[in-house]
Amino acid sequence: MNDSLILLAGMLTLGGIVTLVAAALPAPPRLQPALDRILGEHSAGEHDQVLVADSSRSERLGALLYRRSPIPLSGRQRKLLRLQNKPIAEFYADKLVMAIVGAVLPALIGFAWGWMTGQPSWWPAGLALAGLVLGFWVPDVLLRRSARVSKSRAVESLLVFIDLVTLERLANASAAEALQSAAMLSDVPLFVQIRTALERARLEQQSPYGELRRLAEELELPELRDLTDIMQLDESGAALSGTLRARVKELRNAHLTREQVAAGAAAEGMTIYMTIPALIFGMIFLGAAMLTLLFEV
């Protein structure tokens, strides 16, 4: 038991020293935001997502962990975080909390087991280290598993957004006014992203269609690009209400078809779990007969 405590104390001390040294070192400047501004490609990417989350101590710690982490976020992770309107600092705060929980709980269980059995061992410290590493990656796994649900919710939000834009157009609003008014009616993640893109285009005194197309490419939402193409026809004096209604009907039918296919695949995947009890009972009944045949004198 004493050996485990000494080993754990040494690991914690070494981890604290490494953390203090990493915090004292100056962070290298990130050149990507500056290059994006020079090239005119600045968007609400990872830099803006970090700056948004500064309201709580946990998010400030998450932002610090993000700046010091040697493992960068992938493009797919950034896209999923934007679809959920979740700041990167909050995501890294979740990683920090899960890493602490993963390190503390196995160590406590291991030390309690060693204290009750009276057999000291080194494995509680090993469990703490393994739990620390696994806990750090748990939010990444959860984020990856939520990809399909996030994409489905984004498409559903976009369909509602198109309906709202259609209503605004029927009220004789211009294309830009219809987009802005519809985006102000909800705080779901996609509406927030569209509202941010429209506000950025307004501040830059640019047409909103370029920002919406860029947002569609970043989020991989071709439906938003279709909406942008239709709304841009307003500049040529085309009537958009009928076109929008026809397009949203097509998109909704396609979305329902994809959901039905996914539901059918999930239902077929559950059939294997339904056959397991039957196989178990079959083995029980056949086992007795097979043992009788094999060991019959």
The count of other CB atoms within 10 Å of the CB of residue 126 is: 17
The residue count of the chain comes to: 297
Give the model confidence (pLDDT) of 210-258 as tens digits.
899 999 988 888 888 888 888 887 766 556 777 777 878 888 888 888 8
Q: In the prediction, which pLDDT does 152 show?
A: 86
Q: How confident is the model at residue 50 (pLDDT cuts 50, 70, 90)?
A: very low
pTM of this structure: 0.68
Report how far residue 148's alpha carbon sits from residue 166's, in angstroms, rounded to the nearest whole number: 27
Q: How many CA atoms lie within 13 A of 221 on its CB side?
A: 31
Q: In the prediction, which pLDDT does 109 show?
A: 77
Q: In the prediction, which pLDDT does 122 show?
A: 67
Q: How confident is the model at residue 147 (pLDDT cuts 50, 70, 90)?
A: confident
Domain assignments of the chain as residue spans, ordered by start: 151-256
Give the model confidence (pLDDT) of 94-125 as tens digits.
898 888 888 888 777 777 777 777 766 667 77
Give the model confidence (pLDDT) of 1-24 as tens digits.
556 556 666 666 666 666 666 556
Report how far residue 238's alpha carbon sits from residue 255's, in angstroms, rounded to the nearest whole number: 27
CB 247 within 8 A of CB 227: yes
Question: What average pLDDT does the chain have?
Answer: 78
Would you list the DSSP string of 166-196? HHHHHTT--HHHHHHHHHTT--SHHHHHHHH
Q: In the prediction, which pLDDT does 5 show?
A: 59
Q: In the prediction, which pLDDT does 101 show?
A: 86
